[in-house]
Amino acid sequence: MWAPEDDSAGRANLSGRDVRESVVIGGLIEMNRFLRYALVAGASCVYCVANPAGAAAQQAFAAPKTPHSWTGFYVGGNVGYGQQSGSAQFWGDVPGGNGAGTMTLNAIYTGVANPNVDASPFSERLGSNGALGGLQAGYSWQWNPTGVIVGVEADIQWTAMGSSLTRTNPAGNVAAGQLALRAEDHLRWFGTLRGRAGFLATPNLLLYATGGLAFGEDRASASVTNRGPGPFAPNGSTTLLCQDPNTCFAGSGSRGNVGWAAGAGGEWALTQNWSVKLEYLHIDLGRQDVLMPVAAPSTGTGFLQMRVRNAYDIGRFGLNYHF
Protein backbone atom coordinates (compact mmCIF):
# COMPACT_ATOMS: atom_id res chain seq x y z
CA MET A 1 0.00 0.00 0.00
CA TRP A 2 1.22 3.45 -0.93
CA ALA A 3 1.67 5.98 1.85
CA PRO A 4 2.60 9.66 1.62
CA GLU A 5 6.20 10.50 2.31
CA ASP A 6 7.12 12.52 5.35
CA ASP A 7 8.43 15.99 4.10
CA SER A 8 8.88 17.53 7.51
CA ALA A 9 12.64 17.67 6.95
CA GLY A 10 12.12 19.52 3.68
CA ARG A 11 9.85 22.01 5.35
CA ALA A 12 12.46 22.52 8.04
CA ASN A 13 15.12 23.12 5.42
CA LEU A 14 12.86 25.57 3.52
CA SER A 15 12.14 27.55 6.66
CA GLY A 16 15.84 27.87 7.42
CA ARG A 17 16.59 29.05 3.89
CA ASP A 18 13.85 31.67 4.09
CA VAL A 19 15.25 33.00 7.30
CA ARG A 20 18.75 33.26 5.87
CA GLU A 21 17.49 35.05 2.77
CA SER A 22 15.50 37.50 4.88
CA VAL A 23 18.53 38.29 6.97
CA VAL A 24 20.68 38.85 3.90
CA ILE A 25 18.07 41.06 2.17
CA GLY A 26 17.50 43.10 5.34
CA GLY A 27 21.23 43.63 5.71
CA LEU A 28 21.54 44.83 2.14
CA ILE A 29 18.71 47.32 2.65
CA GLU A 30 20.27 48.75 5.80
CA MET A 31 23.69 48.98 4.11
CA ASN A 32 22.16 50.83 1.17
CA ARG A 33 20.46 53.31 3.52
CA PHE A 34 23.69 53.82 5.41
CA LEU A 35 25.62 54.47 2.20
CA ARG A 36 23.07 57.11 1.11
CA TYR A 37 23.33 58.94 4.42
CA ALA A 38 27.13 58.73 4.30
CA LEU A 39 27.23 60.16 0.77
CA VAL A 40 24.99 63.11 1.71
CA ALA A 41 26.95 63.84 4.86
CA GLY A 42 30.24 63.53 3.02
CA ALA A 43 29.13 65.89 0.26
CA SER A 44 28.00 68.43 2.85
CA CYS A 45 31.32 68.26 4.63
CA VAL A 46 33.22 68.66 1.36
CA TYR A 47 31.09 71.73 0.48
CA CYS A 48 31.66 73.29 3.91
CA VAL A 49 35.43 72.74 3.71
CA ALA A 50 35.69 73.89 0.10
CA ASN A 51 33.32 76.85 0.55
CA PRO A 52 33.50 78.19 4.11
CA ALA A 53 32.18 81.58 2.95
CA GLY A 54 29.02 79.95 1.62
CA ALA A 55 28.49 78.09 4.88
CA ALA A 56 29.02 81.25 6.87
CA ALA A 57 26.60 83.16 4.63
CA GLN A 58 23.94 80.49 5.12
CA GLN A 59 24.35 80.78 8.87
CA ALA A 60 24.39 84.60 8.79
CA PHE A 61 21.18 84.82 6.76
CA ALA A 62 19.29 82.11 8.62
CA ALA A 63 15.74 83.08 9.53
CA PRO A 64 15.69 85.03 12.81
CA LYS A 65 14.57 82.89 15.73
CA THR A 66 13.63 85.90 17.85
CA PRO A 67 12.13 89.33 16.94
CA HIS A 68 14.68 91.77 15.61
CA SER A 69 16.02 94.39 18.03
CA TRP A 70 16.16 97.78 16.28
CA THR A 71 18.21 99.55 18.96
CA GLY A 72 21.81 100.25 17.98
CA PHE A 73 24.14 101.52 15.28
CA TYR A 74 23.95 100.47 11.64
CA VAL A 75 25.80 101.15 8.37
CA GLY A 76 24.95 100.30 4.80
CA GLY A 77 24.79 101.20 1.14
CA ASN A 78 22.09 102.10 -1.36
CA VAL A 79 21.33 102.52 -5.06
CA GLY A 80 18.46 104.38 -6.67
CA TYR A 81 17.13 106.80 -9.27
CA GLY A 82 16.27 110.49 -9.14
CA GLN A 83 14.23 113.00 -11.15
CA GLN A 84 14.46 116.79 -10.99
CA SER A 85 11.07 118.36 -10.33
CA GLY A 86 12.12 121.96 -11.10
CA SER A 87 12.65 124.05 -14.21
CA ALA A 88 14.97 126.71 -15.67
CA GLN A 89 13.81 130.32 -15.93
CA PHE A 90 15.37 132.91 -18.27
CA TRP A 91 15.17 136.70 -18.39
CA GLY A 92 17.04 139.64 -19.94
CA ASP A 93 19.02 142.54 -18.56
CA VAL A 94 16.44 145.36 -18.70
CA PRO A 95 12.73 144.78 -17.99
CA GLY A 96 11.83 147.88 -20.05
CA GLY A 97 12.81 146.07 -23.24
CA ASN A 98 15.80 148.14 -24.43
CA GLY A 99 18.73 145.99 -23.25
CA ALA A 100 20.68 143.70 -25.56
CA GLY A 101 19.95 140.72 -23.30
CA THR A 102 16.23 141.46 -23.19
CA MET A 103 16.09 141.95 -26.96
CA THR A 104 17.90 138.63 -27.44
CA LEU A 105 15.39 136.98 -25.15
CA ASN A 106 12.61 138.55 -27.23
CA ALA A 107 14.16 137.11 -30.37
CA ILE A 108 14.40 133.62 -28.89
CA TYR A 109 10.97 133.71 -27.28
CA THR A 110 8.91 135.55 -29.91
CA GLY A 111 11.14 135.85 -32.98
CA VAL A 112 11.06 139.67 -32.70
CA ALA A 113 14.22 141.61 -31.75
CA ASN A 114 12.46 144.90 -30.98
CA PRO A 115 13.52 147.27 -28.17
CA ASN A 116 9.89 148.30 -27.69
CA VAL A 117 8.79 144.76 -26.88
CA ASP A 118 9.18 143.57 -23.29
CA ALA A 119 9.67 139.80 -23.12
CA SER A 120 8.64 138.47 -19.75
CA PRO A 121 10.83 135.73 -18.24
CA PHE A 122 9.96 132.31 -19.60
CA SER A 123 10.53 128.86 -18.19
CA GLU A 124 11.73 125.66 -19.80
CA ARG A 125 11.63 122.17 -18.38
CA LEU A 126 15.14 121.16 -17.30
CA GLY A 127 14.48 117.81 -15.69
CA SER A 128 17.75 116.25 -14.59
CA ASN A 129 17.42 112.52 -14.03
CA GLY A 130 19.69 109.54 -13.55
CA ALA A 131 21.08 106.87 -11.27
CA LEU A 132 22.58 107.44 -7.83
CA GLY A 133 24.35 105.46 -5.16
CA GLY A 134 25.88 106.02 -1.77
CA LEU A 135 26.45 105.10 1.86
CA GLN A 136 24.41 105.65 5.02
CA ALA A 137 24.91 105.28 8.76
CA GLY A 138 22.64 105.86 11.73
CA TYR A 139 21.38 104.94 15.17
CA SER A 140 17.92 103.77 16.25
CA TRP A 141 16.13 103.50 19.59
CA GLN A 142 13.30 101.01 20.10
CA TRP A 143 10.76 101.89 22.79
CA ASN A 144 9.32 98.65 24.12
CA PRO A 145 6.58 97.57 24.35
CA THR A 146 5.07 100.34 22.21
CA GLY A 147 6.96 99.35 19.05
CA VAL A 148 7.90 102.99 18.38
CA ILE A 149 11.28 103.52 16.70
CA VAL A 150 13.15 106.86 16.59
CA GLY A 151 16.61 107.57 15.27
CA VAL A 152 19.00 109.66 13.22
CA GLU A 153 20.61 108.89 9.86
CA ALA A 154 23.24 110.54 7.66
CA ASP A 155 24.04 109.65 4.06
CA ILE A 156 26.25 110.77 1.17
CA GLN A 157 25.28 110.17 -2.47
CA TRP A 158 27.06 110.36 -5.82
CA THR A 159 24.78 110.92 -8.79
CA ALA A 160 24.64 110.75 -12.57
CA MET A 161 21.66 113.11 -12.61
CA GLY A 162 21.90 115.61 -15.44
CA SER A 163 19.99 117.05 -18.39
CA SER A 164 20.16 119.62 -21.16
CA LEU A 165 17.79 121.61 -23.37
CA THR A 166 18.06 123.50 -26.64
CA ARG A 167 15.57 126.06 -27.87
CA THR A 168 15.68 128.02 -31.15
CA ASN A 169 13.72 131.12 -32.13
CA PRO A 170 10.64 131.01 -34.38
CA ALA A 171 10.40 133.01 -37.60
CA GLY A 172 10.04 136.79 -37.23
CA ASN A 173 12.33 139.77 -37.59
CA VAL A 174 15.04 137.22 -36.87
CA ALA A 175 15.54 134.27 -39.20
CA ALA A 176 13.97 131.11 -37.85
CA GLY A 177 16.52 129.04 -35.95
CA GLN A 178 19.19 131.74 -36.06
CA LEU A 179 19.55 131.91 -32.25
CA ALA A 180 20.00 128.73 -30.18
CA LEU A 181 19.57 128.81 -26.41
CA ARG A 182 21.25 125.86 -24.69
CA ALA A 183 21.23 125.03 -20.97
CA GLU A 184 22.65 122.18 -18.89
CA ASP A 185 22.30 121.17 -15.26
CA HIS A 186 24.04 118.43 -13.27
CA LEU A 187 23.66 117.44 -9.61
CA ARG A 188 27.12 116.12 -8.79
CA TRP A 189 26.53 114.87 -5.24
CA PHE A 190 24.32 115.44 -2.23
CA GLY A 191 23.95 114.34 1.37
CA THR A 192 21.36 114.48 4.13
CA LEU A 193 21.22 114.51 7.93
CA ARG A 194 17.75 113.40 8.99
CA GLY A 195 15.66 112.18 11.86
CA ARG A 196 13.60 108.99 11.51
CA ALA A 197 10.44 108.07 13.42
CA GLY A 198 8.16 105.10 12.84
CA PHE A 199 6.42 102.05 14.22
CA LEU A 200 6.63 98.27 13.87
CA ALA A 201 3.90 96.99 11.56
CA THR A 202 5.23 93.50 12.44
CA PRO A 203 8.15 92.59 14.72
CA ASN A 204 10.47 92.66 11.69
CA LEU A 205 8.87 95.42 9.54
CA LEU A 206 9.52 99.09 10.33
CA LEU A 207 7.47 101.81 8.62
CA TYR A 208 8.86 105.32 9.10
CA ALA A 209 8.82 108.98 8.10
CA THR A 210 12.02 110.98 7.80
CA GLY A 211 13.11 114.59 7.37
CA GLY A 212 15.94 117.03 7.99
CA LEU A 213 18.85 118.86 6.39
CA ALA A 214 20.04 118.38 2.79
CA PHE A 215 23.15 119.71 1.08
CA GLY A 216 24.83 119.20 -2.29
CA GLU A 217 26.69 120.62 -5.28
CA ASP A 218 25.00 121.55 -8.54
CA ARG A 219 26.67 122.74 -11.75
CA ALA A 220 24.69 124.69 -14.36
CA SER A 221 25.59 126.42 -17.62
CA ALA A 222 23.80 128.24 -20.44
CA SER A 223 24.62 129.97 -23.71
CA VAL A 224 23.06 131.67 -26.73
CA THR A 225 24.69 131.07 -30.11
CA ASN A 226 24.17 132.78 -33.45
CA ARG A 227 23.85 129.99 -35.99
CA GLY A 228 23.32 132.37 -38.94
CA PRO A 229 22.78 133.43 -41.56
CA GLY A 230 24.47 136.75 -40.89
CA PRO A 231 25.20 138.71 -37.71
CA PHE A 232 22.72 139.31 -34.91
CA ALA A 233 22.74 143.01 -33.93
CA PRO A 234 19.57 144.29 -32.27
CA ASN A 235 19.29 148.09 -31.93
CA GLY A 236 18.70 149.97 -28.70
CA SER A 237 20.39 151.85 -25.92
CA THR A 238 22.54 148.80 -25.28
CA THR A 239 23.94 147.27 -28.43
CA LEU A 240 25.11 143.78 -29.26
CA LEU A 241 27.04 142.53 -32.23
CA CYS A 242 27.18 138.74 -32.47
CA GLN A 243 28.69 137.42 -35.69
CA ASP A 244 27.81 134.16 -37.40
CA PRO A 245 28.78 131.62 -36.12
CA ASN A 246 29.69 132.84 -32.64
CA THR A 247 28.45 132.58 -29.08
CA CYS A 248 26.54 135.73 -28.09
CA PHE A 249 26.11 135.09 -24.34
CA ALA A 250 27.55 132.37 -22.09
CA GLY A 251 27.88 131.60 -18.40
CA SER A 252 28.30 128.74 -15.94
CA GLY A 253 28.57 128.15 -12.23
CA SER A 254 29.03 125.45 -9.62
CA ARG A 255 27.52 126.03 -6.21
CA GLY A 256 27.15 124.20 -2.94
CA ASN A 257 23.56 124.49 -1.75
CA VAL A 258 21.83 123.79 1.56
CA GLY A 259 18.15 122.88 1.82
CA TRP A 260 15.82 120.27 3.25
CA ALA A 261 14.75 116.68 2.70
CA ALA A 262 11.61 114.75 3.65
CA GLY A 263 10.22 111.34 2.82
CA ALA A 264 9.07 107.94 4.02
CA GLY A 265 10.09 104.31 3.76
CA GLY A 266 9.95 100.76 5.02
CA GLU A 267 12.69 98.54 6.40
CA TRP A 268 12.53 94.74 6.75
CA ALA A 269 14.76 92.81 9.16
CA LEU A 270 16.14 89.72 7.44
CA THR A 271 18.12 88.61 10.53
CA GLN A 272 19.36 90.13 13.76
CA ASN A 273 22.17 91.80 11.77
CA TRP A 274 20.82 92.45 8.27
CA SER A 275 17.93 94.50 6.92
CA VAL A 276 16.76 95.88 3.57
CA LYS A 277 14.83 99.09 2.95
CA LEU A 278 12.89 101.00 0.30
CA GLU A 279 12.80 104.77 0.66
CA TYR A 280 11.39 107.86 -1.07
CA LEU A 281 12.91 111.32 -0.52
CA HIS A 282 12.04 114.77 -1.79
CA ILE A 283 15.12 117.02 -1.70
CA ASP A 284 15.03 120.80 -2.17
CA LEU A 285 18.41 122.54 -2.53
CA GLY A 286 17.01 125.96 -3.36
CA ARG A 287 17.87 127.87 -6.52
CA GLN A 288 20.99 128.67 -8.49
CA ASP A 289 21.44 131.75 -10.68
CA VAL A 290 23.74 131.69 -13.72
CA LEU A 291 24.77 135.03 -15.25
CA MET A 292 25.41 135.00 -19.02
CA PRO A 293 27.38 138.11 -20.09
CA VAL A 294 28.33 138.88 -23.66
CA ALA A 295 30.90 136.30 -24.78
CA ALA A 296 33.95 137.28 -26.83
CA PRO A 297 34.44 137.83 -29.70
CA SER A 298 30.89 139.23 -29.57
CA THR A 299 30.68 142.81 -28.28
CA GLY A 300 28.10 144.62 -26.16
CA THR A 301 27.13 145.31 -22.57
CA GLY A 302 23.96 143.30 -22.09
CA PHE A 303 23.44 139.97 -20.34
CA LEU A 304 20.99 137.14 -19.87
CA GLN A 305 20.32 135.22 -16.68
CA MET A 306 19.17 131.67 -15.93
CA ARG A 307 17.70 130.46 -12.65
CA VAL A 308 17.57 126.74 -11.90
CA ARG A 309 15.30 125.26 -9.25
CA ASN A 310 17.16 122.37 -7.61
CA ALA A 311 14.35 120.12 -6.36
CA TYR A 312 14.51 116.34 -6.77
CA ASP A 313 12.37 113.26 -6.16
CA ILE A 314 14.41 110.17 -5.32
CA GLY A 315 13.67 106.49 -4.80
CA ARG A 316 16.31 104.10 -3.49
CA PHE A 317 16.93 100.57 -2.23
CA GLY A 318 19.30 100.01 0.69
CA LEU A 319 20.99 97.23 2.65
CA ASN A 320 21.99 97.79 6.30
CA TYR A 321 24.18 95.91 8.76
CA HIS A 322 23.17 96.31 12.43
CA PHE A 323 25.79 96.05 15.18
Q: What confidence tens digit (pLDDT) does each residue in 48-57 have? A: 334 544 444 4
* Higher local confidence (pLDDT), 212 or 113: 212
Confidence of residue 309 (pLDDT cuts 50, 70, 90): confident
Report the pLDDT averaged over residues 197-219: 95
Q: What's the pLDDT score for residue 276?
A: 97
Dist. CA 126–CA 292, nearest whole Å: 17
- Res 151 pLDDT > 50: yes
Which long-range contacts does 171-174 make (Cβ < 8 Å, 24+ apart)? 171/111, 172/107, 172/110, 172/111, 172/112, 172/113, 173/107, 173/111, 173/112, 173/113, 173/114, 174/107, 174/111, 174/112, 174/113, 174/232
Cα dihedral 218→258→216→282 (10° resolution): -100
The average confidence (pLDDT) of the chain is: 81
- Res 23 pLDDT > 70: no
* Higher local confidence (pLDDT), 127 or 78: 78
- Written in H, E and C, the secondary structure of 271-283 is CCCEEEEEEEEEE
- Res 42 pLDDT > 50: no
Instruction: Give bridge partners of residue 209 from the DSSP assignment.
Output: 197, 264
Q: Is residue 102 a contact partner of residue 95, using CB atoms and an 8 Å limit?
A: yes
Q: Is residue 200 a contact partner of residue 251, using CB atoms and an 8 Å limit?
A: no
> Closest Cα partner for 283 from 141, 108, 116, 134?
134
- Res 141 pLDDT > 50: yes
Least confident of 25-39, 252-266, 307-321: 25-39
* Higher local confidence (pLDDT), 21 or 264: 264
Half-sphere exposure of 255 (CA within 13 A, CB side): 18
Report the pLDDT averaged over residues 117-139: 86
DSSP letters along 177-226, please?
T-EEEEEEEEEEEEEEEEEEEEEEEETTEEEEEEEEEEEEEEEEEEEEEE
Cα 86 to the center of its chain, rounded Å? 18
Q: Is residue 91 a contact partner of residue 103, using CB atoms and an 8 Å limit?
A: no
Confidence of residue 7 (pLDDT cuts 50, 70, 90): very low
Dist. CA 259–CA 85, nearest whole Å: 15
| Residue 203 CB coordination number (10 Å) | 14
Are β-strands 303-322 and 72-84 bridged in parallel, bridged antiparallel, or unpaired? antiparallel
Confidence of residue 62 (pLDDT cuts 50, 70, 90): very low
Q: What's the pLDDT score for residue 146?
A: 81
* Higher local confidence (pLDDT), 230 or 266: 266
Q: What's the pLDDT score for residue 76?
A: 98
pLDDT digits (tens, 9 = 90+) for 258-286: 999 999 999 999 999 999 999 999 999 99
Q: What's the pLDDT score for residue 277?
A: 97
* Higher local confidence (pLDDT), 30 or 135: 135
Report the pLDDT averaged over residues 221-240: 83
- Res 19 pLDDT > 60: no
- Res 107 pLDDT > 60: yes
Q: What is the percentage of the chain residues whose pLDDT exceeds 90?
A: 49
Dist. CA 72–CA 173, nearest whole Å: 69
Are β-strands 179-202 and 205-226 bridged in parallel, bridged antiparallel, or unpaired? antiparallel
Q: Is residue 305 a contact partner of residue 288, using CB atoms and an 8 Å limit?
A: no
* Higher local confidence (pLDDT), 163 or 16: 163
Dist. CA 84–CA 160, nearest whole Å: 12
